[in-house]
Amino acid sequence: MAGTLTQPTAKTVTTLADGRQLIYYDSGEAVPRDAVDLRPLDPPAHGSEVRLDPATGAWVTVAAHRQARTYQPPAEECPLCPSRDGRHSEIPADDYQVAVFENRFPSLAGPPAALEGADGLRVSGPGAGRCEVVCFTADHDASFADLDERRARLVLDAWTDRTAELAALPGIRQVYCFENRGAEIGVTLAHPHGQIYAFPFTTPRTARMTERAAEHRAATGRSLFDDLLAAERADGARVVLAGEHWTAFVPFAARWPYEVHLYPHRRVADLTGLDEPQRAEFPRLYLELLRRFDRLFGAGRTPYISAWHQAPAGQEDELALHLELFTIRRAADKLKFLAGVESGMDAFVNDITPEDAARRLREVAP
Amino acid sequence: MAGTLTQPTAKTVTTLADGRQLIYYDSGEAVPRDAVDLRPLDPPAHGSEVRLDPATGAWVTVAAHRQARTYQPPAEECPLCPSRDGRHSEIPADDYQVAVFENRFPSLAGPPAALEGADGLRVSGPGAGRCEVVCFTADHDASFADLDERRARLVLDAWTDRTAELAALPGIRQVYCFENRGAEIGVTLAHPHGQIYAFPFTTPRTARMTERAAEHRAATGRSLFDDLLAAERADGARVVLAGEHWTAFVPFAARWPYEVHLYPHRRVADLTGLDEPQRAEFPRLYLELLRRFDRLFGAGRTPYISAWHQAPAGQEDELALHLELFTIRRAADKLKFLAGVESGMDAFVNDITPEDAARRLREVAP
């Protein structure tokens, strides 16, 4: 594993009033991060469960306590702003660069325990794992695309560090760093932020990818993801952006109106495997992709999901780290809904051809 | 295969001005259905494509022409109302009971052709198949739950007849009857209606179910779906409603806030296999489920997806016909969004326990 904090980065681990961890990441010189959380907090809610769907093999998390989670609070009660002017948020400091803390309403939390369900039809266990919130700017009204490259690099370092730490927790199968942006996606807190889920199972989408990779290896002796990336780079019709170390393309069978996959040219299993040249180039390319997404529909911010695919435990030789970025917006005034065909049968219908989407995403270059 | 029109039902096959089929189903005595479509219609749009996602094995339909489809027209331009008062809709008759016609903006249409993509990474073919619209009431403001049992039985007959006919078309792998209800689901036409997709591939969700069923058969020698239904009936904690021939339960690993699966006790592969007692009982139970969904959140209609799972070609011995009914509403003022965890990783988080959902659905009995 390569080092997880590869540029000069200060990391300060602190504890919130209810015992949750809060970790500050600062670029360059260490910043004193000794502000104390003064809120009178009850212990965080717990008690989720994971259940295996016997009909599909997919794990589902049942998290009843999350019905009460914070839902679109007014800006003056934002829990992700720094604590200033007598207000106390989730982050006691009066400013921050990148701050990562355990979610107060986690879908997954705590140590693993044995699964129950001897008949194989009703297999369940505690919702073990960990859910973290990643704040990457103190500016309530900014977004990831507004960051400079130095800050984006700091976020990459934070994701990498969290991946290393969370993957090492007992019972964790997969670490998932992602960002939801926009009320259209269902974001319940307006302050820009990402999240990290440490799952006690391999997610259904990742499980299928590893199955496909194994089939491809058996049939060809080669890596599915190496072949995929090589084919897209050779074809070029769906390539959006390429650097020396990364290429972004619209996948051949894109599910979403605008969808881009960003792969490092040298395959790695997860963020901890990236080398310095890959890390150094990533911020520029990723920020450029986000800014192009915002230019697709004229004024306004494009809602998006940005999802890091990392190898689950035991699949480090097959699953290739990559980022999948997509929007549910199909036109300035229309969203892609997941109705009966998609939600009922997982059969996506995409109204925009991948080649057209790639062309548009090339056209909106600055 | 049992007969497809088992109660006295008249079926009249007609043709719209652009060559698409329109089929009327009428209960009891035949009704003259000779109204002519007088609209000057261009040929329907065509040209979709199916593509295999090499990373997941899922088929995706690319249907660029659908970006221009009819989108939330005003009620006076409703294409699903009967043709009256000088207005010409998709249904030339001035009234109807059940009318099924080929979609003017089909995601899938036409005969199958060979797939391309020798390298296995970019496999594609024409978007063969057929998409139909199922109108089950002339009343623009009604909904399925408002139908009487006789009309619901007529819809069951129409679904069954269409399943038989569409499954017999060359290249069809799976016939999918479903209904999307509510603007929250993305419904673009307010007039109540269902749809039928005849797919040239097995849908991803069904493919996983057949894989699981094969694994269960190999491990136990028994049908996965027989065992599932027996376990739920024996447990009872998640049973919502049971008749002599059908049982409705919330699945053990429900993905959606309120989700009910309705199985016939005697397993059949698809709608054409239902016998008269099963057919006779279905309307009462299904209408009751829909009405309970509408009572969950006080006044107002609950958005839902209702999805018939039928065996794909070659899996008639394993996949069991059942209906999956679910809503994306998790509270009177809140929807379940598919954000980064669900859309990025297919890992569902459900805020309502299946047992609580079942209890609520029992409580809202009349």
- Stated as kind and residue range, the H or E segment containing A195 is strand A194-199
Q: What is the pLDDT of residue A2?
A: 41
- Reduced to 3 states (helix: H, G, I; strand: E, B; else coil), residue B272 is helix
CB contacts of A51 in chain B (<8 Å) are: 252-253
Residue A67 has pLDDT above 70, yes or no: no
- Is residue A193 annotated as a catalytic residue, yes or no? yes
Nearest CA to B95 among B152, B140, B138, B42? B138
Residue A4 has pLDDT above 70, yes or no: no
Q: Which residue(s) pair with B21 in the sheet? A: B15
Q: What is the pLDDT of residue A7?
A: 64
Q: Which fold has domain B9-201?
A: HIT family, subunit A (3.30.428)
CB contacts of A336 in chain B (<8 Å) are: 186
Nearest to A307 among B58, B224, B344 (CB): B344
Q: Quote the minimal CA–CA distance from B85 to chain A in Å.
A: 32
Find the catalytic residue in A193, A216, A309, A322.
A193
pLDDT band at A9 (very low <50, low <70, confident <90, very high): confident
Summarised one tens digit per residue, pLDDT across range A334-354 is 888 899 999 999 999 999 999
pLDDT band at A299 (very low <50, low <70, confident <90, very high): confident
Closest chain A CA to residue B250? A53
Spatial separation of the C-alpha atoms in residues A293 and A286, rounded to whole Å: 11
Spatial separation of the C-alpha atoms in residues A256 and A237, rounded to whole Å: 17
Nearest to B353 among A53, A62, A331 (CB): A62
Q: What is the pLDDT of residue B5?
A: 59
**Measured between alpha carbons, how far is residue A221 from residues A358, B52, B120 in Å?**
30, 21, 14
CB contacts of B124 in chain A (<8 Å) are: 252
Provide the H-helix boundaries in B196-266: 204-220, 224-235
CB contacts of A203 in chain B (<8 Å) are: 345-347
Summarised one tens digit per residue, pLDDT across range A194-224 is 999 999 999 999 999 999 999 999 999 999 9
Nearest to A60 among B205, B216, B350 (CB): B350
Domain with CATH 3.30.428.10 in chain A: 9-201, 206-363
pTM across the whole model: 0.95
CB contacts of B127 in chain A (<8 Å) are: none
The answer to whether the CB atoms of B252 and A349 lie below 8 A apart is no
CB contacts of A57 in chain B (<8 Å) are: 208, 211-212
**Measured between alpha carbons, how far is residue A212 from residues A205, A220, A348, B120 in Å?**
11, 12, 19, 11
Summarised one tens digit per residue, pLDDT across range B87-106 is 999 999 999 999 999 999 89
Return the ∠ at Cα A254 (arms to A253 and A260), rounded to 5°.
130
Q: What is the pLDDT of residue B6?
A: 56
Q: What is the pLDDT of residue A47?
A: 82
Q: Give burial (CB, 10 Å; 0-12/13-18/19+) of B112.
A: middle
Q: Which residues of chain B have pLDDT under 70?
A: 1-7, 66-69, 118
Summarised one tens digit per residue, pLDDT across range B101-131 is 999 989 999 998 888 886 789 999 999 999 9
The answer to whether the CB atoms of A330 and B67 lie below 8 A apart is yes
Q: What is the pLDDT of residue B4?
A: 58
- Under DSSP, the state recorded for B325 is E
Nearest to B61 among A121, A330, A347 (CB): A347
- Under DSSP, the state recorded for A298 is S
Q: Quote the minimal CA–CA distance from A20 to chain B in Å.
A: 22
Q: What six digits make up the tokens of B222?
A: 């028994």
Residue A66 has pLDDT above 80, yes or no: no
**Measured between alpha carbons, how far is residue B262 from residues B52, B176, B282 in Å?**
31, 16, 10
Contacting B residues, span 121-160, partner chain A, CB-CB under 8 Å: 121-122, 124
Spatial separation of the C-alpha atoms in residues A80 and A66, rounded to whole Å: 18
Q: Quote the minimal CA–CA distance from A56 to chain B in Å.
A: 5
Q: What six digits make up the tokens of B325?
A: 């009914």
A222 touches chain B (CB under 8 A): no
Q: Which residue(s) pair with B144 in the sheet? A: none
Of A89-103, A249-263, B283-297, B330-344, least confident by mean pLDDT is B330-344
Q: What is the pLDDT of residue A141?
A: 95
Q: What is the pLDDT of residue A343?
A: 96
A199 touches chain B (CB under 8 A): yes
Residue A225 has pLDDT above 90, yes or no: yes
CB contacts of B219 in chain A (<8 Å) are: 120
Write the CB contacts of B279 (distance below 8 Å, at least 6 apart in sequence). B6, B7, B153, B156, B157
CA atoms within 13 A on the CB side of A146: 11
Top-level CATH class of B206-363? alpha beta
Tell which phi-psi region holds residue B344, choosing left (phi > 0), alpha (psi between -120 and 50) or beta.
Answer: alpha
The answer to whether the CB atoms of A186 and B335 lie below 8 A apart is yes
- Side chain identity, residue B274: L
Cβ-Cβ contacts under 8 Å between A and B: the total is 250
In percent, the amount of chain A with pLDDT more than 90 equals 83
- Reduced to 3 states (helix: H, G, I; strand: E, B; else coil), residue B15 is strand
Find the Cα–Cα–Cα–Cα dihedral A352, A353, A355, A360, rounded to 10°.
-10
Spatial separation of the C-alpha atoms in residues B152 and B303, rounded to whole Å: 19
Q: What is the pLDDT of residue A5?
A: 59
CB contacts of A107 in chain B (<8 Å) are: 341, 349
The answer to whether the CB atoms of B178 and A340 lie below 8 A apart is yes
Return the ∠ at Cα B53 (arms to B52 and B55), rounded to 5°.
140
Spatial separation of the C-alpha atoms in residues A107 and A41, rounded to whole Å: 19
**Helix axes of B354-363 and B276-295: crossing angle, nearest 10 degrees:** 90
Find the catalytic residue in B191, B193, B245, B322.
B193
Summarised one tens digit per residue, pLDDT across range A137-157 is 999 999 999 999 999 999 999
Q: Quote the minimal CA–CA distance from B35 to chain A in Å.
A: 32
Substitution target in A72, A343, A353, A360 with the highest count of B β-carbons within 10 Å is A343
The answer to whether the CB atoms of B62 and A225 lie below 8 A apart is no
The answer to whether the CB atoms of B55 and A216 lie below 8 A apart is no
The answer to whether the CB atoms of B348 and A58 lie below 8 A apart is yes
ipTM summary value: 0.95
